[in-house]
Copies of this chain bind each other. A is one copy, B any other.
C-alpha cells in the first residue's frame, strides 16, 4: 500500500517539538511561579488556552536554575497530591459499600492531580521530551530525597502508558540514516564504545551487519533503545572478530563468502535515562528476530554475544566460600587485570562461570548477573560460555575476559520465561549444565 501519507503524519509532531526547543524566549523562573502556572493549567481557566499555557510552564521550568527545579519537585509532591479529605471520604464510602461506582470514585480520588498536570503539560509541542528530561533530573534527586518516589511513580506510570509497545516503531539504522540520529547512536552505545564515524560505519554499512532501534512518534529524532547485530556463520565466541573494522564492502579480506546462518545480537543500549524502568529490550529483540527471519530465510539461530558484568566481582567475593573459595583463589592468582587469562585457567574459569550463572543468586532468588537476568527473563537460554571472549580493558576488568551466548528460540521462550519467572530456573544448554557439574566436582 501507499504509505506516504501516513509517513508525513509525524512531521507536525516533530516540528512542533522543535518550536519549543528553538523559538522560546528564556525567562527567569522559580518554583513558586511555576506552581501558580501549573495550578492555572489544571484548573478550568486553563482549558481554552491549554496548549499555550503548557508551553509556558515547560519553558519556565527549563529556564529555572536547578535548585528551583528541585524545589518544584517538592511542590509537585505536596501541592499536587490527592486532597486528603476527599480521598478519606472516598475510602470510607468504599469500605461502607464496595460498589462498582464507589470503586471508580475511589480510583479517581486517589489519582494524584499531578497526573492530570503531566497530561496537560504533554499537550505542548515537545512536551513529551520535556517530561522525560524532568524525570531524568527527578531520578537523580530521588537518592537525596526518597519521598519524591510518589512523584516519580506518577511520571513513570504515565510514561509507561504512553510508551506502550503498541506506539513504538522499529526502524533500521544504517549508513543512509540522518547524521543527526547516527551521532546519537555513537553517544548512546553503552556496551562496546563506538570510537568515531569510521567505527560507526563499519557497524552499519557492511552487508553482514544490522542495527535496529525503537522510536516513539512524539520523540522522533531520539532512539529509545537500539541493538547491533552481526550476521555470521556459526555462533561467535569473541567480540574482537565482530568489532574488527571492515572495508565498506563489508567483508574482511579473508571472510568466507558463505551465507550467514546466525544472527548475533552483540550490543543493546538503552538511550533515555528519563525512561528508566520502562522496558523495551524484550520487545526489541523479539521483533528484530522476526524482521531478520523474514529478510534472510537462511538464518537458523538467533543468539547474543553478551558481557558478564558481575563475574569478576563475584569471584572476588567468594573468599572463604567453603566449596568454591579454593578454586576461586587459585584462579584469581593466575589472572592479571590487564592481560588475557593464561591457558591453564580455562577449565576452572568455565566451571566457576557455570556455577555463577546457574547457582549464584541475589536476594530475590534470581541470578546475580544483570545481563543474565535480562535475557533469561526474556525467555532466552544460556547457550555457551566463552573463555577469552572480550580481552579489552573493561572485558578483563569486569569478567576476566569471559563472554557468553544466550539463545532466543521463539518456540521455547514462553516456557523458559515461565520457569524462570515462577521458580527462578535458569534454562541452560547441556554443555553449560555439564560445566556446572564439573564445578561441583571441583569443589569437593
Contact = CB atoms under 8 A, between A and B. Distances in A.
Interface of A: 1-15, 18, 44-45, 47-51, 77, 81-82, 84, 87-88, 91-92, 94-95, 98, 100-101, 103-104, 106-107, 110-112, 119, 122-125, 127-128, 147, 149-150, 153, 158, 161-162, 164-167, 169-172, 174-182, 196-197, 201, 215, 217-218, 220-221, 282-283, 286, 377-379, 413-414, 416-418, 421-422
Nearest to A128: B166
A98 B87 contact: yes
15 contacts: A2-B5, A2-B8, A6-B11, A7-B10, A9-B215, A10-B217, A12-B169, A84-B98, A87-B98, A88-B94, A104-B149, A107-B111, A119-B161, A162-B167, A175-B180
Contacts of A82: 103, 107
A177 B5 contact: yes
Contact of A5 (B9, B119, B181, B414): B181
Q: At the interface, is chain A mostly helix, strand, loop or mixed?
A: helix
Contacts of A217: 9-10, 13, 167, 217
Closest 10 pairs (CB-CB, A-B): A4-B4, A48-B417, A7-B7, A217-B217, A91-B91, A2-B176, A6-B220, A176-B178, A48-B379, A123-B165
A186 to B, nearest CB: 10
A5 B106 contact: no
How many identical subunits does the complex contain?
4
B2 A178 contact: yes
Contacts of A77: 100
B5 A8 contact: no
A46 B94 CA distance: 31
